[in-house]
Structure 1
Amino acid sequence: MSYNVDFETGTHPYVEKDLQSISERNQDDFQYSHPFKQKLLSWGVEARGILPVPPELRTDTQYNQIFFIWLSANFNILSFSAGTLGPVVFGLGLRDTCLVILFFNLLCSALPAYLTTWGPKLGLRQMCQSRYSFGFFGVIIPSIFNLASMCGFCILNCILGGQTLSSVSGGGLSWTVGIVIISVISLLVSFCGYKVLTWYERLAWIPVLVVYVVALGIGGKHLLNPPPAEPASAIAILSFASTIAGFVITYSPLASDFTIYFPPEVDSWKIFLYSYLGFNIPIITVQCLGAAVVVAAPSVPSWNAGYDNGNVGGLLEAMLSPSGGFGKFLTVLLALSVTANVAPTLYSFCLSFQVFIPYLAVVPRYVFSILATAIIIPLSIVGSTKFYDTLTNFLGLIGYWASAYGAVILMEHLVIRRGRFDGYDLRYWNSPRKLPTGLAALGACAIACALIVPSMDQVWFLGPIAEKTGDIGFEMAFTVTAIAYIPLRYFELRFRKLV
């Protein structure tokens, strides 16, 4: 199949008039004609939203930047906090916590790493690719879940950043002001778009590495002899594993958003390897560090005081406090590290919102960064008082839908389309009547819910299966959805041919 994309919009009578305005020429006219927009573009601000990137514009050969995007996005306090959940919430010892972190991250990061390889081949954002299995209108449902997940991650990061800035100031700066500072900085980076974002992510991990090295140099001696732990139960291990899976597998719905400017001929193994290492190096190391520090905290009075009421920012500030003013400076850098996660998340939020409401595809991408920030700030302020409950419940829940989503996308590509990218007719990316109905995808996900719910172990609900096994909801979500999707999709193809 030729990769020369004809941006055809289809003939659906209800949406044809609006969607035809999303052709490349009309969108360019809409976005770039205003003098203010022209000025933004001259400064390097990216306006392109979900419009496919044709091959002649896929010219970025700096393939290692996808490694730095995932590295910086996960080399922060949120990864540290996720690691503390093993000992604090699930009662696991340090060894068991680190083993779960290691093996489940290695397993679950393979899915988003693989999906990043699709961007150069198709030139489509991740949720637009999903239209080839969920359909034009059906994909709105996973888009809603994706928007909620991205908002959740932004909220958690803003809370942590705000907590940490407040700890540095000795309480003189409130959590609320700290949250606003983190949100505004992240907005500025995401507003500018792809070029500025990739430049920022290439550098953002460096000061964080310095902070962690100094923290280990100062407090590493307290981590050498962790206290003995009770034997771990299978229920605790699987429940913590579900939380860890929710941390990384939810990158799948935005995986290829950052690789669509790479040329189609790039080797997929190279993009996969960069992404896989970009996920695992920061997540595994920082989560294990978080687990080790929180296990040692009760035996170090200053750490324990800083960690009062689950204040992770206070714990890190207490670790760095022996270095005086330099420690406070490093703590500020650590607080700002969350912007490297919030900024790319806001970037993908814009794209998912345009899939959620297709008629807004003519609106420049950066407008939605402002909208997302306006949503995130008040929600972060409200949720800041119950961080650990928010973190545990959020990571546990989002893993379910992301697993089901990943199963549909994989089965469509590997089984239905035989793993061939020329099996996607890119002319119809925006054509409701040419794309699948999405009933097979949504039906498979609905069937999976029958086993996901009884397999859930949450604070507010414990299913009968999970009561015996621990939380295996994300495993059920992936397996059942994958099995159910194939026959449902073949049945759907009897009435609508493959595009």
Structure 2
Amino acid sequence: MAGTLSFGLSLRDTSLVILFFNLVCCIQTAYIGMLGPKTGMRQIIQARYSFGLYSVAIITVLNLIAITGFTLIAVILGGQTLSAVSDGKMTIKVGIVLTGLIGLFVSFCGYRALHLFNNYSWFITFICIVVAVGCGGKHLDNPVPVEPASSSTILTFGCLIVGFMLPFNGIVSDFAVYYVPNAPAKRIFWYVYAGIAIPTILLQTLGAAIGAAVPKVASWNSGYENYSAGGVLEAMLRPAGGFGKFLAVLIAFSLIGNVGASMYSISLNFQATFTYAARVPRGVYSIITTVIMIAVGIKIADSFFDSLENFLGIVSYWPGVFGMIVTIEHLYFRKGDASTYDAAIWRDGRKLPVGIAAISTGILAFGIIIPCMNTLWFVGPIGKITGDIGFEVGIVVACIMYIPLRKLEISISGHL
């Protein structure tokens, strides 16, 4: 909804930006996902073979911020929808608490339960969305007229799409690792690529169409003002009466699968930060994260879309640089050979890479990214003219700098 509702782009322009940026971004994520089953390592452990045992802690912290932020978005959306369905009898705060606690419970059930839940819940959610479109579809072909889009606006909105997609780089192997090691790499790539790209493009495009119609449909606009995105969804389903409310509740609870899966990765990331952190049970990290999310969610729920845009603007830069470093490490220095990821040294700081090359590349990339940013909270001198091109510039700098710095690191340390 942000493209049409917040950025003032036309539905056509928004849809094209969604299509292009998602199709491009998912390539990197799907490629990294192939390494999960081949190495047998989850994402942050795998990253140690580029960033080293100690420097990877910086990536872990950034990853935790990104995952927790996306989980927070899901919790807020669930709370808003439940509150809208109850006509405000259940406050958004209570809805956020309820969604967060149920998601925490689901995360305690383990990966197999999460996998089973998501295997079936997607179809139920799909039916609910189809019904919602059927109830409100007559309004979708009459969007509000807008001015022609500028290249600056398109690039800045594109950066938000990047911020939504590329953080998967930091968690994709947490789940792809469950594929069998001898599965064809191309098949894994296309499974991951299609599994992320297709539903994201379809749902974001639908959201853009809904956002374009919100100002002209009184009930949708009222729902948006009172309950943000959850209120719009409830308003779309209102013509279906009680059945529509039931479907809205199902959609709200479908987000629990996202929350539970994110909690799974969050706890793994905490344990991978430092060696001693693995001694703490994963459930403790999930509980702490849930408490923080509920508290923050209650605070920012009233300014949901501003908070969403701020968050996506923050997290859209580092995953691209991280993904490029990991990809170059695998293709150039390890010659695409998964056997070079020696599992026996996964926590041996002396035998793992030092990590200076990877971290230095990241720092240099961000030194160029900052003046190219164009976000709600900061606009750099270059980004002010061009729109947000931080993501593109960061990837180019990583490509240029990592190879010579890593070669220097190898020559000094004497090993990969």
Task: Report the TM-score range of the alignment, normalised by the length of the smaller protein.
Answer: over 0.9
Q: 1:181 aligns with which of 81, 91, 98?
A: 98
**2-structure distance, mates of 1:266, 1:141:** 32
Instruction: Give the letter for the 2:193 counterpart.
Output: Y
Q: Which has the higher helix share?
A: 2
Q: 1:203 aligns with which of 114, 120, 125?
A: 120
**2-structure distance, mates of 1:321, 1:353:** 42
What residue is the counterpart of 2:174 in the other structure?
A: 257
Deviation (angstroms), 1:274: 1.1
Q: 2:283 aligns with which of 363, 366, 369?
A: 366
What residue is the counterpart of 1:59 in the other structure?
A: none
Q: 2:131 aligns with which of 183, 197, 214?
A: 214
Instruction: Give the letter for the 1:158 counterpart.
Output: V
Instruction: Give the letter for the 1:107 counterpart.
Output: V
Deviation (angstroms), 1:444: 0.5
Deviation (angstroms), 1:156: 1.1
Deviation (angstroms), 1:310: 6.8
Q: Secondary structure at the match of 2:55?
A: coil
8 Å CA contact retained: 1:193, 1:366: no
8 Å CA contact retained: 1:310, 1:388: no
8 Å CA contact retained: 1:454, 1:462: yes
Alignment of 1:36-47 (within 5 A): none
Alignment of 1:202-281 (within 5 A): 202-281=119-198
Structure 1: gaps of 5 or more residues? 1-83
TM-score, with length taken from structure 2: 0.97
Between 222-231 and 394-403, the greater mean CA deviation after superposition = 222-231
**2-structure distance, mates of 1:227, 1:153:** 29
**2-structure distance, mates of 1:256, 1:178:** 31
Answer yes or no: is 1:347 the counterpart of 2:264.
Answer: yes
What residue is the counterpart of 2:254 in the other structure?
A: 337
Answer yes or no: is 1:459 the counterpart of 2:376.
Answer: yes
Answer yes or no: is 1:138 the counterpart of 2:58.
Answer: no
Instruction: Give the letter for the 1:497 counterpart.
Output: G
Instruction: Give the letter for the 1:120 counterpart.
Output: P
**2-structure distance, mates of 1:396, 1:363:** 32
8 Å CA contact retained: 2:135, 2:237: yes
What residue is the counterpart of 2:294 in the other structure?
A: 377
What residue is the counterpart of 1:108 in the other structure?
A: 25
**1-structure distance, mates of 2:320, 2:83:** 36
8 Å CA contact retained: 1:400, 1:474: yes
Structure 2: gaps of 5 or more residues? none
Q: 1:172 aligns with which of 81, 89, 113?
A: 89
Deviations 1:470-495 (A, max 9, x none): 00111111111221111000000012
**1-structure distance, mates of 2:291, 2:142:** 45
Instruction: Give the letter for the 2:232 counterpart.
Output: L
**1-structure distance, mates of 2:356, 2:258:** 34
Deviation (angstroms), 1:453: 0.4
What residue is the counterpart of 1:290 in the other structure?
A: 207
8 Å CA contact retained: 2:144, 2:215: no
How many residues end up aligned between the 2 structures?
416
Answer yes or no: is 1:397 the counterpart of 2:314.
Answer: yes
What residue is the counterpart of 1:193 in the other structure?
A: 110
Q: Could you list the runs of 4 or more consecutive aligned residues of structure 1 that deviate by over 6 angstroms after TM superposition?
A: none
What residue is the counterpart of 1:161 in the other structure?
A: 78
Q: Secondary structure at the match of 2:316?
A: helix
Taking only aligned residues, the RMSD between alpha carbons, in angstroms, comes to: 1.3
Larger Rg: 1
Between 359-368 and 199-208, the greater mean CA deviation after superposition = 359-368
Instruction: Give the letter for the 2:44 counterpart.
Output: M
8 Å CA contact retained: 1:158, 1:183: yes
What residue is the counterpart of 1:495 in the other structure?
A: 412
Deviation (angstroms), 1:309: 5.6
Answer yes or no: is 1:437 the counterpart of 2:357.
Answer: no
**2-structure distance, mates of 1:498, 1:309:** 59
**2-structure distance, mates of 1:198, 1:393:** 31
